[in-house]
Structure 1
Amino acid sequence: MSAPNKSYDPVEVEALKPEEVERMRDAALAAIAAAADLDALHEAKVAHTGDRSPLALANREIGALPPHAKADAGKRVGQARGAVNQALARRREELEAERDARVLVEEAVDVTLPYDRRPRGARHPLTTLTELIQDTFTAMGYQVAEGPEVEAEWLNFDALNLGPDHPARSMQDTFWVAGPDGSEESGVVLRTHTSPVQARTMLHSEPPIYVVCPGRTFRTDELDATHTPVFGQVEGLAVDEGISFADLKGTLEHFAAAMFGDDLERRWRPSYFPFTEPSAELDLQCFVCRGESVGNPDRPCRTCSSEGWIELGGCGVVNPRVLTACGIDPERYSGFAFGLGLERILMNRSGVEDMRDMVEGDVRFTLPFGMEI
């Protein structure tokens, strides 16, 4: 049996001849260069790179060639198509730049003209208040830290010295995230405070630590004039050598003066929190009745329930057990922590008498605060 005669080529395809491929390439390049706008360029693209374009049809003819001739023809057609695609990309950039420059001139808007929309927009006051509080603490050398709102049970409770039997872990206070089987034993909660951010910070940072942690928190409270199930908190944490309760008191006194001025009375009273020892509550004089409703049935005050004071938040010296759980030596370091309610701060700063006004979405509530940034 004789071997195949590879030198004999019985197939000659006109569209694959070098001069024909060059002609198709040059025609495509000329059409692309002549495109005056993006619409014309799109037409040139379809005509010279589409499925029915000359180069695409020539590429299909390669299959008719004998094996030893396919590589040379494929390289020749591939180079031509590549040159066409590169020319398309360059021309598109040029035309888009021309269009953008033309739009800037033809569609210019004078932003100094009076606006014609009613009503004018406004930021929510809790947003601007959060930023103001952050600025106040960063001016004192604190950093801003954030964390997830759906939190691990260990970080929300155990790391903060809230044992398994603590009442704050019951369903009356905490929103538990159901597990895959629908059970409540998922180990995941909607965070009840922003303290887990403090735990995360201590676990991943070395003292000295000075952070402030703003964010939303969730508890199963009834919505009324002074409570809401979804509320904002800003918590602070300082861990360093030699930190004492005096440092905590000085920090919060400075913050209260910056937020409310010196004319609103403040009081400290002892309290209990598992994650701080000793612990205290900071109260502000009721901004509505100024204490005149206390013992006065003729002038009841629904904002403070005629007690004369509104709780601002809790605080205290960080419990050594919390430092140990987060990997910090309590023999060397001490610290303080505090948690303040954003809504309570807004109520006292701006005279908002009912917390429900903050969450109902009525623009008549936000508009008076304007676009303060």
Structure 2
Amino acid sequence: MKVLAAMSGGVDSAVAAARAVDAGHDVTGVHLALNRSRGTLREGSRGCCTIEDAMDARRTADVLGIPFYVWDFSDRFSEAVVDDFVAEYAAGRTPNPCLRCNERIKFAALLDKAVALGFDAVCTGHYALVTTDAEGRRELHRASDEAKDQSYVLGVLTADQLAYAMFPLGRTPSKALVRAEAERRGFRVASKPDSHDICFIPDGDTRGWLADRLGSAPGPVLDTDGVEVGRHEGSHAYTVGQRRGLSLTRPAPDGRPRFVLEVKPASNTVVVGSREQLAIGELGGERWSWSGEAPAGLDAGFRCHVQVRAHADPVPAVARITAEGVVVRPDEPILGLAPGQSAVLYDGTRVLGQVTVDRTVRVPVPA
């Protein structure tokens, strides 16, 4: 097959590309230039998509003896991921930019261009599995290494996209084995630190980054009785479940910590309360997609597990389709779920699909 290997400049995508070559595929490497700050250099384990990363990807391609290109997707990335990130926070929501990047860049813009150029598959260094059932339908599953599993951020992939997806690392038992393989192959990135935080906010200061773009808008921090207990410089700097940096001036009557329960951009207020008040008994959303064949029993409801963060534990639940979209009721409450997050549904190791959370229903707290 003709395979386009997306090479980030890290060890995972390097080994994935190498395995595609070993499998006998006709492999071409490509690095996506997503960062508008072309001169930005990577600092330690923070960030990605920098000049340094592009150079590392090229060196790996040279070792493999495969063609290598850099494709500038920075305008598309800025509009589809960065601008969306800002708009979501301005609306009081908490987006997942990595999931949006997979949905709109790596398996949309990149895949579309790859198919147009005659490639049969796009290979990435994600830790996930794509299998084929008895009827030839593709399914997305968790990786063998649960600690590195990235199926959550791939939950937005559709059946059409899975048809072109190739994840050579999915059955590798550990990241240590990937690094050891990179060392044997002579890749300079064998010991390169993993990237962390949001790639377009490499210093990790999300609040400061948002303030630069959305400005200052002082407003009240209220408790659930509507009493002002503090002031903020912009509601966009807060997310549901947040405990630190709340700028509270009045402690809770019981002296216990308080958490963000709601962000209300229309009134520029932030509502705080107890940890118990974070408990969510139902979530729903109008934007969903299925990763392959849609589950049976959509109207009546079907059993599944729901995962609301990349490394959260999956929770048993019942999901169904209603006039308002997908509704999920977990068997046990989920704490600190914010609008804008993605809820990914599983059947065992298989990813069924995902829904972007628009609304939540809190579990009543006994008086």
TM-score range, shorter-chain basis? under 0.3
Which has the larger share of helix? 1
Larger radius of gyration: 1
Which has the larger share of strand? 2
* TM norm structure 2: 0.23
